[in-house]
């Protein structure tokens, strides 16, 4: 396992109590960072996080779709840890499996509010402090669906395409500072988001992956941690593929 030195660094991870976010939090904590989890449900974090002390890991109940909630989470994190050097946007929902013609309008809006507005809210909140300190790393978790579009998942696909575009735009805006803004586009991983879609859709996603398996959350975390490190000092506005060969661009 590659190791990176995050001593003295503070990371905020949305959706960090479970799934991809929890795997990233674990790797960053192992690497010396202090981590704040911003999650709507902080009642039962994954077992891998339960051994860390309170001066290493802070859990803040946060609704990323609400800018005021995000700003309050940032204030709580800064009061405990002083700053935020790294932001990882992992919070997201899938929405129902449905054709666009029959897609519920309220479900469409719910997906955009969490996946797109949530990413906007957190990036908006932390980027100001990063610019003032002339340092920061932002990693947004997009999806291969944002590149290719999945049938019967128009809301999710559109939201992740928006995250990709937001990443490119913000990366250019902050390029004059020592701030890197990048995203990853994973294939499906076995996380709680699978509970939101049908078994048929899960099998469809698996059938599209040349590797013949789902990506693991630890494989995603391995790439994200490098992107969040000081070593990633030049690349910004980029999209890193984690689709197992499905999308080769």
Containing 17, the helix (H) or strand (E) segment is none
User: Residue 117: how many CB atoms within 10 A of its CB?
Assistant: 18
Q: Which of 4, 67, 70, 73 is nearest to 36 (CA)?
A: 73
Q: Return the active site residues.
A: 156
Contacts of 64 (CB under 8 A, 6+ apart): 14, 15, 38, 40, 70, 89, 91, 114, 117, 118, 119, 121, 122
Burial class (CB in 10 A: 0-12, 13-18, 19+), 105: exposed
Q: CB neighbours (10 Å) of residue 249?
A: 6
Beta bridge partners of 180: 137
Tokens of 182: 């990048």
């Amino acid at each position: 396992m590659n190791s990176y030195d995050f001593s003295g660094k503070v990371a905020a991870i949305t959706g960090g109590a479970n799934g991809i976010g929890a795997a990233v939090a674990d790797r960053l904590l192992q690497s010396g960072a202090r981590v704040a989890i911003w999650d709507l449900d902080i009642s039962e974090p994954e077992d891998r996080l339960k051994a860390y002390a309170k001066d290493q890991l802070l859990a803040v109940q946060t609704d990323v779709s609400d800018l005021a909630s995000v700003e309050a989470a940032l204030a709580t994190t800064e009061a405990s840890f002083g700053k935020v050097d790294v932001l990882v946007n992992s919070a997201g929902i899938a929405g129902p499996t449905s054709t666009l013609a029959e897609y519920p309008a309220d479900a469409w809006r719910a997906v955009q509010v969490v996946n797109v507005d949530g990413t906007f809210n957190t990036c908006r909140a932390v980027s100001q402090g990063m610019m003032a300190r002339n340092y920061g790393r932002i990693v947004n978790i997009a999806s291969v669906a944002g590149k290719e579009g999945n049938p019967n998942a128009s809301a999710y696909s559109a939201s992740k395409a928006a995250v990709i575009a937001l990443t490119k735009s913000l990366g250019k805006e902050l390029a004059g500072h020592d701030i890197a803004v990048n995203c990853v586009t994973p294939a499906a991983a076995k996380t709680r988001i699978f509970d939101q879609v049908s078994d048929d859709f899960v099998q469809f996603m698996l059938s599209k992956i040349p590797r013949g398996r789902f990506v693991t959350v630890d494989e995603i975390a391995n790439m994200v941690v490098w992107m969040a490190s000081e070593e990633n000092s030049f690349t910004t506005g980029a999209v890193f593929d984690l689709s197992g060969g499905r999308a080769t661009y």
